[in-house]
């Protein structure tokens, strides 16, 4: 309601209800708004049809087939509004497309119950669907009722062209890292078709930004059309999903598209002020500077500030020296490199590291420090909120470094300076020069045929990339990389899968005693995995072969263990022996070469 005074003396008061002067919007925002307003009712109608199909589920296969078909239709409609909804109305989007099981994330601690289309998919593909009918009906009704008035969200929309452009850029990353991997439709295997539809929607929203007879606009249009054409030509049934050449699509279509889109936004000045972990100046997602390690907790030298380069370089050099210094420890015998040796991929290659006495063992495996900066918490259980906190904890732990005031006092630097220097050094450990990286830059000979097949398995049938997200291959969640993921795998105590015994380590639960944290651990990078054996939080698996076998069998739950909170699907991946070998060949292609670290 608006109140307007009229007349020279202000004697007349006219009250007009249900009317407001709309904020003047640019063509870009108007187009995005119009697309959402047109598509939201169609999505809502598809939700109603899905609800009806689920209500009528019975023992006959035809009704189950219909429900799955309606779910697919619903998902395809959702993809037309996904970019806009996920960016401008993130909380609302949770209702429709959140993971089917709760997955702890840092730095977010709040709990949101799983709901939406992914939950419905998991239930519709369960071996005993009818036993879940009540829950299916509840989920379908929630989705349907929530979608009924989606257009009302537009009432308070406050947006600009730079934000619309950023929503499109994030959607392309979402397609690259989640859509084509089957992250949110692993059983329907509709990710290729969904990605094509999402990209067509992005194409429509880009139209008002493009200028006729403009080289930059024409180049962007061509790159976008090529990517859409490649997806459309290969969208279809599940067999097409498994055989889709993701490696080629990413390198030959997505990277050129990102290059053109990023160049376009820079030229037009359509870059938002809040950039987060993504570097708006990077060429594409696989550029070494695509993600800023200095964005994450504790960093003091933002990468984009040129005047900090010399200070950061000096601090990194000091940290590299201190990293090898055993006099930091209480015994004068143990350095950071004792458990994180550079020539061993910054690990010690022991199942669990030796304590300060060099006889007893610590509780967990020593993870690589390569790419460790790209996380929102540290340690396997995420109990440290920054590298600085993690380093300080290790230095003073009586079983690890056993440092004390007297050992620190002998140094010409304060403890704070020592911790900050070591943290800066660890932040520099991101080479990004593996065979995979060289292939993505255009070197066709960098990967063998077997490794290329393994890459496509990693991003497709084997579902590895649905937890080890590109481009870091860790638990940093795309498309905005604003959270670090933890997973419950049901990891076993040994490599005996015939008589499996679950690991007693409760992981994150020890730091945060909530039921869904039980046996959850941070998802580490698998870059340099070939160098950082043995594997898992307890170092129980001595080879990549056993790791792949464990996942292929469906984790602890797939082995028959009782792991109610397991976030890893318990069904077998169905990988043949040849496919498992190809997958391992690809993991070998993620080993960096040359200098153990590079500086921004």
pLDDT of the residue at 238 = 59
Q: Are the CB atoms for 271 and 169 separated by under 8 Å?
A: no
pLDDT of the residue at 154 = 94
- Using left for φ > 0, alpha for ψ between -120 and 50, and beta otherwise, residue 178 falls in alpha
Q: Which helix (H) or strand (E) holds 45?
A: helix 27-55
Helical axes 255-268 vs 161-174, angle rounded to 10°: 170
Rg of the chain (C-alpha set): 26
pLDDT of the residue at 17 = 37
Give CA–CA dist 451/453, Å, rounded. Answer: 5
Closest CA to 451 of 581, 268, 335, 359: 581
Report the relative pairing of strands 2-6 and 12-16 from DSSP bridges: antiparallel
pLDDT of the residue at 74 = 98
Helical axes 117-124 vs 133-147, angle rounded to 10°: 150
Secondary structure (DSSP) of 343-373:
GGTSB--SSS-B-TTSSSB-SS-----TTTT
Q: Which residue ranges in the chain fall short of pLDDT 50?
A: 1-22, 304, 595-600
pLDDT of the residue at 237 = 61
Q: Which two tokens stand for residue 475?
A: 């638990």
Give CA–CA dist 262/580, Å, rounded. Answer: 37
- In the chain, the domains with their CATH numbers are 27-274 (1.20.1420.20), 294-427 (1.10.760.10), 435-588 (1.10.760.10)
Buried b (16+ CB within 10 A) or exposed e, 48-74: bbbbebbeebeeeeeebebbbebbbbb
For residue 384, CA distances in Å to 281, 378, 511 come to 30, 5, 10
Give CA–CA dist 493/505, Å, rounded. Answer: 9
pLDDT of the residue at 98 = 86
Q: Work out the widest C-alpha separation in the chain, in whole angstroms.
A: 92
Q: 321-349, pLDDT tens digit by residue?
A: 999 999 999 999 999 999 999 999 999 99
Q: 284-326, pLDDT tens digit by residue?
A: 999 999 999 889 998 876 554 556 677 788 999 999 999 999 9
């Amino acid at each position: 309601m608006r109140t307007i005074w009229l007349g020279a003396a202000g004697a007349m008061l006219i009250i007009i209800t249900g009317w407001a002067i709309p904020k003047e919007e640019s063509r870009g925002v108007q187009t995005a708004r119009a697309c959402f307003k047109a598509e939201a009712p169609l999505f809502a109608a598809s939700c109603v049809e899905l609800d009806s199909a689920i209500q009528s589920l019975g023992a006959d296969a035809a009704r189950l087939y219909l429900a799955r078909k309606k779910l697919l239709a619903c998902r395809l409609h959702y993809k037309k509004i996904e970019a806009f909804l996920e960016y401008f109305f993130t909380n609302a989007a949770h209702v429709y497309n959140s993971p089917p099981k709760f997955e702890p994330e840092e730095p977010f601690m709040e709990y949101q119950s799983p709901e939406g289309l992914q939950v419905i998919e998991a239930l519709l593909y369960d071996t005993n669907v009818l036993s879940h009918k009540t829950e299916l009906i509840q989920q379908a009704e929630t989705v349907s009722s929530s979608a009924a008035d989606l257009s009302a969200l537009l009432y308070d929309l406050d947006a600009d062209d730079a934000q619309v452009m950023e929503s499109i850029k994030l959607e392309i990353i979402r397609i690259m890292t989640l859509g084509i991997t089957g992250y949110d439709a692993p059983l329907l295997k509709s990710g290729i078709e969904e990605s094509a539809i999402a990209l067509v929607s992005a194409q429509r929203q880009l139209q008002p930004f493009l200028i006729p007879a403009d080289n930059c606009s024409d180049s962007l249009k061509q790159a976008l059309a090529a990517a859409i054409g490649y997806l459309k030509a290969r969208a279809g049934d599940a067999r097409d999903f498994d055989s889709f050449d993701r490696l080629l699509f990413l390198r030959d279509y997505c990277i050129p598209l990102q290059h053109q889109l990023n160049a376009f936004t820079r030229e037009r000045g359509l870059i938002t002020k809040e950039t987060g972990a993504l570097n708006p100046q990077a060429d594409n997602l696989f550029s070494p500077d695509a993600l800023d390690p200095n964005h994450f907790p504790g960093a003091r030298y933002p990468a984009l500030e040129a005047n900090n380069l010399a200070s950061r370089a000096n601090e990194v050099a000091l940290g590299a020296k201190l990293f090898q210094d055993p006099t930091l420890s209480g015994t004068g015998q143990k350095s950071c490199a004792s458990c994180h040796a550079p020539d061993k991929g910054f690990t010690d290659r022991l199942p669990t590291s030796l304590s300060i006495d060099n006889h007893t063992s610590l509780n967990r495996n020593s993870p690589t420090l390569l790419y460790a900066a790209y996380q929102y918490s540290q340690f396997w259980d995420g109990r440290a909120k920054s590298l600085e906190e993690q380093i300080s904890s290790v230095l003073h732990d009586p079983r690890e470094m056993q440092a004390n005031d007297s050992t620190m006092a002998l140094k010409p630097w304060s403890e704070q300076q020592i911790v900050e220097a070591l943290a800066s050094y660890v932040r520099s450990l991101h080479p990004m020069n593996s065979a995979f990286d060289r292939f993505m830059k255009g070197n066709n000979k960098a990967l063998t045929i077997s490794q290329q097949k393994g890459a496509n398995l990693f991003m497709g049938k084997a579902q590895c990339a649905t937890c080890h997200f590109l481009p870091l291959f860790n638990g940093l969640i795309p498309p905005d990389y604003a959270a670090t993921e933890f997973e419950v795998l049901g990891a076993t105590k040994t490599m005996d899968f015939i008589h499996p015994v679950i690991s007693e380590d409760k992981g994150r639960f020890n730091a945060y005693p909530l039921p869904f944290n039980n046996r959850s651990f941070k998802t580490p990078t698998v870059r340099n995995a070939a160098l950082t054996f043995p594997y898992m939080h307890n170092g129980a698996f001595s080879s990549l072969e056993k790791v792949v076998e464990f996942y292929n069998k469906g984790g602890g739950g797939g082995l028959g263990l009782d792991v109610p909170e397991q976030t890893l699907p318990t069904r077998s991946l169905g990988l043949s022996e040849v496919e498992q070998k190809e997958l391992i060949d690809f993991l070998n292609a993620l080993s960096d070469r040359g200098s153990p670290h590079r500086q921004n």
